[in-house]
Amino acid sequence: MIEILVAFAIMAMSLAVLYRAMGSGIRDVGVLEQREKAVMLARSLLLAKDDVLPGDQGDSGVEDGLSWRVSVLPFSTEAAAARPGAVPLHLVVVSVDWVGGGTPQRLEFRTLRPQRKVPQAREGR
């Protein structure tokens, strides 16, 4: 459900940027293209983080002039603390930085992801 909300938010942002750019000049078209690339990159990074491995702290890199970072932080709630068997949650923050129109630009998306259960080795094999 969270993925659907994030996807709709990304689509809404993309459409808003597209409509705003229709009346702008050629310079703004380049800025729009970079922003669209940033949104698509952020979306793909979020989709790649469907769940989190224990000890995962994130990743970073540069792709097509866009600098990106995925940060993973433990996210605790009172409800989870009260339930010993609850699946741990992690806050996943995806940020994409670039220079557009001569000024630094940044997109940042946040979502919660469950921690993947690691299969325990069976004894006797």
Question: What is the per-residue DSSP string for 33-68?
Answer: HHHHHHHHHHHHHHHH-SSB-TT--EEEEEETTEEE
pTM: 0.67
pLDDT at 24: 60
9-47 pLDDT tens trace? 888 888 888 776 665 666 666 778 888 999 999 999 998
Q: Which helix (H) or strand (E) covers residue 72, if one does?
A: strand 66-75
Identify the H or E element spanning 110.
Answer: strand 103-114
pLDDT of residue 66: 94
